[in-house]
Structure 1
Amino acid sequence: MGSKVNILVEGQTEETFVNSVLAPYLFQYGIFPVPIIVKTNIEENGTTHKGGFVRYSEIRKQILRLLNDSSADIVTTMMDYYALPKSFPGKDDIQGHNCFEKVRYLERAWSEDIHHKKFFPYLQLHEFESILFTSPLEIATVFSEKQYINRRLEDVRKKFSSPEEINDNPNTNPSSRIIKVAPEYQKVFHGPLIAGRIGLEKIKDECHHFSDWINTLKHFKDKKT
């Protein structure tokens, strides 16, 4: 029997990635991920807006609701580390010497705030497009000016030991770097497409924080039994 995993995701890009790239990979291990896009605002007339990370209090409520789903074995997340709200647990006293230590600190603080054995939070360093820098060539391949884009993005990649280190400055975050050389980049369409072309195993080899998350999901059934 398989294990259902509810994944609260930041937007349509992550939802598509889970459905088209992550799910087929996890199916072979008996893990069935279900992406749920975060609801960022509910108006008085009942209109719901989805996507993004605005108020932590709203995110917290949605996680608690997902934890009430008795059919789910785990509730996890796929939210950007970049531009977290100030109200996020641990944000006001974040500790760590590098982005990896800092993101783990925030994930622990988040886990402690929710305080539920089924909750396993994951924050994407620094945003979804970070994992695409695993292969600048695959990014470039889907656009017309392939050689130019590949050269420019390879120059970026060489400055960091891991794609996950590509930073969170508004002008130099991963998506901004891609758009700067490929203005036609459309996050929801191109992002999951490129990730699928790269392949999860290659992404895991380059992006260790991401890999730890995938491995925890992949081996969940082993721990359960």
Structure 2
Amino acid sequence: MMSVRHLIVEGQTEQQFAQRILVPLADSKGIYVVTNPPKTGTSKRGISARGGGAWKHMVDPARNFLKNPGIDKVGVLFDVYGSEFQKKHSELAGPELRNAVKSDATESILKGLDVDESRLVVGPVLYEFETLVIAALASGNTREKPTVVREARAALKKAHGDVEAINGAVSTSPSHRVAKWWEDSLGKRYEKHIDGPRILNEVPWPVVKKACPTFAQWVDAFLD
């Protein structure tokens, strides 16, 4: 019987990554993955809005899926940058921040639940999902212009080789960096939920996995 996993993602970019990369990886292991952003509101026409919400929108879906014995694992993927967790642990950075957020997020989901804790796999992305895109660009395995590749490699070098630690001020967060490269080098707008997953899909997963070991650990745990 095929194992069933449910993945809750923060937005469309993560959903596209899951559908293009995680789902095929899971399928090769005999695992069926269902993924979608949580409901964050309802329009006047009664249409559900999904993605881009606060952490609170992810907690209830995760708890509900954990209560379902037919789901073997529940994964949660979200950005730490700009979240309530980053504000709570403003004195922390790097791995210490990530570990504190993972602990808090896990506790908020499991609180009061009588379930096997190993079924929940929380994956906080330290800054933004675009760190994976930067890793893919820096590999030189995409179809993007050499100028963009050079920018990605320079950002990686400045972060001492740890792509998952790339950040700066608000204007130099991973997504802002990539958007500026697109504007300066390509003369067009960077479309997060289209360009990001496309670029990641152009690079073999092992290449991205090697550059993003912490994120890779979450993937391995979810698909184990």
Aligned match of 2:102 in 84, 90, 107? Answer: 107
Q: Secondary structure at the match of 2:77?
A: strand
TM-score of the aligned structures, taking structure 1 as reference length: 0.84
Per the TM alignment, residue 69 of structure 1 is displaced from its structure 2 partner at its CA by 3.1
- Matched letter for residue 123 of structure 2: Y
The CA distance in 2 between the partners of 1:37 and 1:93, in whole Å, is 25
1:98-120 CA distances to partner (integer Å, 9 max, x unpaired)?
41221121111111122242322
- Matched letter for residue 158 of structure 2: K
1:178-224 CA distances to partner (integer Å, 9 max, x unpaired)?
110103321111111111112221111111111111121232xxxxx
Q: Secondary structure at the match of 2:172?
A: coil
| Uncovered stretches (5+) of structure 2, i.e. residues with no partner | 184-188
Aligned residues: 212
The CA distance in 2 between the partners of 1:9 and 1:48, in whole Å, is 16
The 1:52–1:139 alpha-carbon spacing in structure 2 relative to 1, beyond 3 Å, is: farther
The CA distance in 2 between the partners of 1:191 and 1:139, in whole Å, is 15
1:193 match: 198
The CA distance in 1 between the partners of 2:222 and 2:169, in whole Å, is 30
Per the TM alignment, residue 93 of structure 1 is displaced from its structure 2 partner at its CA by 4.3
The CA distance in 1 between the partners of 2:72 and 2:168, in whole Å, is 32
Q: Secondary structure at the match of 2:49?
A: strand
TM-score of the aligned structures, taking structure 2 as reference length: 0.84
The 1:135–1:19 alpha-carbon spacing in structure 2 relative to 1, beyond 3 Å, is: closer
The CA distance in 1 between the partners of 2:163 and 2:133, in whole Å, is 8
2:186 match: none
The 1:95–1:213 alpha-carbon spacing in structure 2 relative to 1, beyond 3 Å, is: farther
- Matched letter for residue 122 of structure 2: P
The CA distance in 1 between the partners of 2:31 and 2:41, in whole Å, is 30
Kindly report structure 1 stretches of 4+ aligned residues shifted beyond 6 Å: none
Give matches, 1:66-85, under 5 Å.
66-84=65-83
1:49 match: 49
Identity %: 26
Conserved in 1, the CA contact under 8 Å of 2:38 and 2:50?
yes
| Uncovered stretches (5+) of structure 1, i.e. residues with no partner | 220-225
Conserved in 2, the CA contact under 8 Å of 1:17 and 1:192?
yes
Per the TM alignment, residue 35 of structure 1 is displaced from its structure 2 partner at its CA by 0.8
Per the TM alignment, residue 32 of structure 1 is displaced from its structure 2 partner at its CA by 2.0
The CA distance in 2 between the partners of 1:163 and 1:82, in whole Å, is 15
1:3 match: 3
Superposed CA RMSD in Å reads: 2.3
Conserved in 2, the CA contact under 8 Å of 1:31 and 1:217?
no
The 1:52–1:168 alpha-carbon spacing in structure 2 relative to 1, beyond 3 Å, is: farther
The CA distance in 1 between the partners of 2:140 and 2:46, in whole Å, is 39
Give matches, 1:169-208, under 5 Å.
169-183=169-183, 184-208=189-213
The 1:186–1:44 alpha-carbon spacing in structure 2 relative to 1, beyond 3 Å, is: closer
1:131 match: 132
The CA distance in 2 between the partners of 1:95 and 1:23, in whole Å, is 36
The 1:197–1:127 alpha-carbon spacing in structure 2 relative to 1, beyond 3 Å, is: same
The CA distance in 2 between the partners of 1:186 and 1:140, in whole Å, is 20
The 1:169–1:66 alpha-carbon spacing in structure 2 relative to 1, beyond 3 Å, is: farther
1:222 match: none
